[in-house]
Copies of this chain bind each other. A is one copy, B any other.
């Protein structure tokens, strides 16, 4: 199992949770809990038959209106903000330096030398490949090395996948036949093997495979020959990291919408199907998805309510009257009324990350990591609107939206703020049910266990299937991270209001850290390495939670007639946003840009240690669609395109030496210029 920087930094999110909330919890219990406890507002209210739990006695609700004690909450809000910002700052600095360290100390990687050029303009006289080569030879004459055009191999990938599946079936039937050689296995050719002509399964699959192999060969030839199968995009590689960094950060053409260059993702990270989306359509896809997400967030209850009404007792009896005698039975009746209405919502929530991932894919991001990041943002937003706001102000998101539009801007935090202390008990239960139980399920791998057994029962036919079913997959940043963030939100919002919630959150973060540490080291299998590119998002969401908590506290206090103290809170969101901007300016570039100084240092070092490196051979095939590489299972006709490429990349064994042995370039003295080792220009042979 490979655990890279991504996993290490992912674990830090839990650690930050502990770092933020443990001191805050101590402070809150030392300062706020006594302040809240030593009042008798709620006891007096009890005389008027207003019920309240013991938890409420520890919360801000126990303080009488217009009390001077609210000052302690304001001081606490400041303490929380400063402490949270301090932890976040330290972490951002740490993660940024870890990332740069990782990029610097990491072995040579193709993406360090490569830039993805998109929207290559059409040209009547030249092919895309020629055009790319000429353009970069002219505009980056000293640095351009080679390039790799992007083929539209989506159809080919589909065919190869289908062939593999068929081969799998063939193995299954062969196994079946070898176990019981008395009769040849038969199958039906129709849908799911339920109807259609009965044929000999082994023969059928063998002929299918043959047909598919032919189709694959034909498709490969088509891709190689048809200029239309070449997308107007290319992975352009440079002789040095410096050259690639320059090209990725600059605008190439006078027209800023063509020859767009961006840093190429790690080859494992490339999401190939999206490279074939025409660049123009991206500007249409983004607003479409934005609107779709808006409707998903605010209107998702409508179809679910429809399903629920159908799934109710009356709904079933109406739709299928013949089931009436069955559903009227007591056991089934209670099952339907108790279980069915919830199941539509549960199913939706289980599939939500998948739905969001499909939306991100449609949007056209070209790396898996950016797909996950975008899905995570959306999932967080959805949770905020539907779980957080939805639980606090009971009612659907749609109703909230409607009431918010018709409220004045400063009434909204009041409406929400007032409801917060009331919901503390609910969220404590939520933390235990969703958080703690979720971790327990995680360590037992309940989900995977269920899925594995389901698959084993229904789908597994051969050994390879079993292996695939056993694979726990990757960590799922887009599912896990927004869920953690939700606890940051809860913790920050309730820290001043109902500090009782904090120990529950600390236990969650502690448990989760231990469990996920184990899981990441022993179980999960990360598919790619983005070098913690997700950190700015994590940071941003904690800041968002902090600002939300400040605004809601302001709303809450303004209803407590603590009018003279509320304005002091106004400075907090301003300071927090200023802090965020500062962090963004200071650290975010480390997650987007490869600084020239770094690139130059690494280049110089490499030239000193490996003067005869054949970089072209190394980079030639780095960015080939995986379907062209995966030739294990296909013996026939697989080499057609590969051979073409193989010819070019005569692989020369790299003479890598230990970097520790070469002395670091000595510090430059006086006004003299250091004589840099001359760049060895290796001109590859045609």
Contacts and interface: CB of A to CB of B under 8 A. Distances in A.
Contacts of A259: 597
A224 interface: no
Contact of A597 (B252, B667, B673): B252
Contact of A589 (B246, B251, B665): B251
Contacts of A408: 405-409, 411
A450 interface: no
B668 A134 contact: yes
A399 to B, nearest CB: 16
Interface residues of A, number: 69
Contacts of A595: 250-254, 256
B673 A684 contact: yes
Among A138, A139, A254, A595, chain B packs the most CB atoms within 10 A around the CB of A254
Nearest to A678: B681
B139 A597 contact: yes
Interface string A646-686: 00100000000000000001011111111110110101111
Contacts of A146: 671, 673
A225 to B, nearest CB: 16
Nearest to A127: B671
Contact of A137 (B100, B254, B578, B674): B674
B596 A250 contact: yes
Interface in A599-618: 600
A663 to B, nearest CB: 13
A309 B404 CA distance: 43
B670 A686 contact: yes
A578 B590 CA distance: 30
A410 interface: yes
A299 interface: no
Given A251-B249, A589-B256, A141 B676 contact: yes
Contacts of A598: 254
Contact of A405 (B138, B141, B410, B590): B410
- Complex copy number for this chain: 2
Interface in A577-633: 578, 582, 585-590, 593, 595-598, 600
Contact of A673 (B139, B600, B678, B686): B686
Nearest to A647: B671
A578 B251 contact: no
Given A256-B589, A410-B406, A596 B251 contact: yes
Given A139-B597, A410-B405, A578-B287, A684 B665 contact: no
B600 A139 contact: yes
A354 interface: no
Contact of A667 (B130, B135, B251, B578): B130
A145 interface: yes
A600 B142 CA distance: 12
A118 to B, nearest CB: 14
A675 B684 CA distance: 10
A666 to B, nearest CB: 11
A674 B681 CA distance: 12
Interface in A237-256: 242, 245-246, 249-256
Contact of A245 (B250, B283, B678): B250
A674 B596 contact: no
A257 interface: yes
Nearest to A676: B141
Among A130, A145, A684, chain B packs the most CB atoms within 10 A around the CB of A130
A133 interface: yes
A19 to B, nearest CB: 24
Contacts of A287: 578
Contacts of A665: 137
Nearest to A406: B408
Nearest to A645: B671
Nearest to A100: B254
A287 B575 CA distance: 11
Contacts of A253: 595, 597
A118 B146 CA distance: 35
B600 A138 contact: yes
A275 B597 CA distance: 25
Nearest to A129: B671
Contact of A254 (B249, B597, B669, B681): B597
Interface string A314-329: 0000000000000000
Contact of A256 (B245, B283, B585, B674): B585
A299 to B, nearest CB: 16
A600 B667 CA distance: 31
Nearest to A134: B668
Contacts of A673: 133-134, 137, 144-146, 683-684, 686
A411 B409 CA distance: 11
Nearest to A256: B589
Interface string A218-230: 0000000000000
Nearest to A670: B686
A133 B671 contact: yes
Nearest to A130: B671
A405 B409 CA distance: 6
Given A597-B254, A673-B146, A668 B409 contact: no
A256 B141 contact: no
22 contacts: A134-B668, A137-B665, A138-B668, A139-B597, A141-B676, A146-B671, A250-B595, A251-B595, A253-B597, A254-B590, A256-B586, A256-B588, A257-B585, A283-B585, A405-B408, A405-B409, A408-B409, A669-B686, A671-B684, A672-B686, A673-B683, A678-B681
Given A256-B595, A406-B410, 19 more contacts: A130-B668, A137-B676, A138-B600, A139-B242, A139-B600, A145-B673, A249-B250, A251-B595, A254-B590, A254-B597, A254-B598, A255-B586, A256-B585, A256-B587, A256-B590, A283-B585, A406-B408, A673-B683, A678-B681
Q: Which 6 interchain pairs have the tightest Cβ spacing?
A: A672-B686, A256-B589, A671-B686, A249-B250, A408-B408, A648-B671
